[in-house]
Amino acid sequence: MVELSTEELRARLPEAVRLYVTAMGYPSWTTQQRIPVWSAHMSRSGWRCVAAFNDRDELSGIGYGYSGDAGQWWHEQVRRGMQEHLPPDQVKGWLDDYFELTELHVHPEAQGHGLGRSMLRTLLSTAPGANVLLSTPEGPTRAWRLYRRMGFTDILRNHRFMGDPRPFAVLGRSLPLDT
């Protein structure tokens, strides 16, 4: 497992997004749609990326995030949901200083061996912010079990992001992670 610079991820971006598409079960055309989004994320404050490779130098895991801030699409979607369901002091407490865990994906063939946990620990070990927030599709998945084991709690459940009909959970926890 290694941390990747923006240049290193940019050089492997199509491969990284294909891994994401495979892990999430999205249609292959999603790859071309997501490459510009991932590229834009790389310029955000606090951006960090970790990757894991198999013995053929192929990506087996990818994860990244950055400092969340007002005006970012995800931040505004989550803020809207929080304002509908949480008191203002809790909204402020979560959104004032957080690291957005934007993507964390392990290739299906590499799942179940602790790679996701190792990647998450590495990515968050020096992440900026008092908290970390993420969103994940609702449902019993390996990702859910990982986040629960790592101390993430419910912030929003059955949240709908604009443009996606699926229900999502927004999970969070304080930083730093316990050792």
Query: Which residues are annotated as catalytic?
Result: 147
Residue by residue, DSSP assigns 99-113 as EEEEEEEE-GGGTTS
Residue 64 — left, alpha, or beta (φ > 0 → left; ψ -120 to 50 → alpha)? beta
Contact indicator for 32, 18 with CB cutoff of 8 Å: no
Place of tokens 């053929």: 56
The pair of three-digit structure tokens given for residue 124, joined into one six-digit string = 């968050």
DSSP 37: H
- Beta strand extents in 29-166 (DSSP E only): 48-53, 59-67, 98-106, 131-137, 153-160
